Amino acid sequence: MINEELGVLFERASEDESLRRRLLGTKNAVDPVLALCEMATELGCPVTVGEIFENGEGYLSELHKGCIGATEPRADWGDMYGLFMASLEGLED
């Protein structure tokens, strides 16, 4: 499951500054999501681009179902790559 794999990766990055910086460096890749997936897989936490997007879409769908009468949730709430990077950046403080 993607949340488990990214959770393991996050825990490792929280303890290893070098790994955290490598993961954050994927933001500079031509395809950042693919770069993260390739690195995660190399590190034993296999994640695919499709899983990242599917997880984000699923999150938005569940959020929308739970917001009776509310407007559409913000599209960037389903950006799992962006949320993961923001979590890593939060460790930099």
CA nearest neighbour of 1 among 61, 38, 48: 48
CA 18, CA 83: separation in Å to the nearest integer?
A: 20
CA 64, CA 84: separation in Å to the nearest integer?
A: 21
Interval 27-35 mean pLDDT: 94
Is the overall model pTM greater than 0.85, yes or no? no
29: left (phi over 0), alpha (psi -120 to 50) or beta: beta
Q: Domain locations in the chain?
A: 2-90
Judged against a pLDDT cut of 60, whether residue 33 lies above it is answered with yes
pLDDT at residue 83 in the model? 83
pLDDT grade for 89, boundaries at 50, 70 and 90: very high
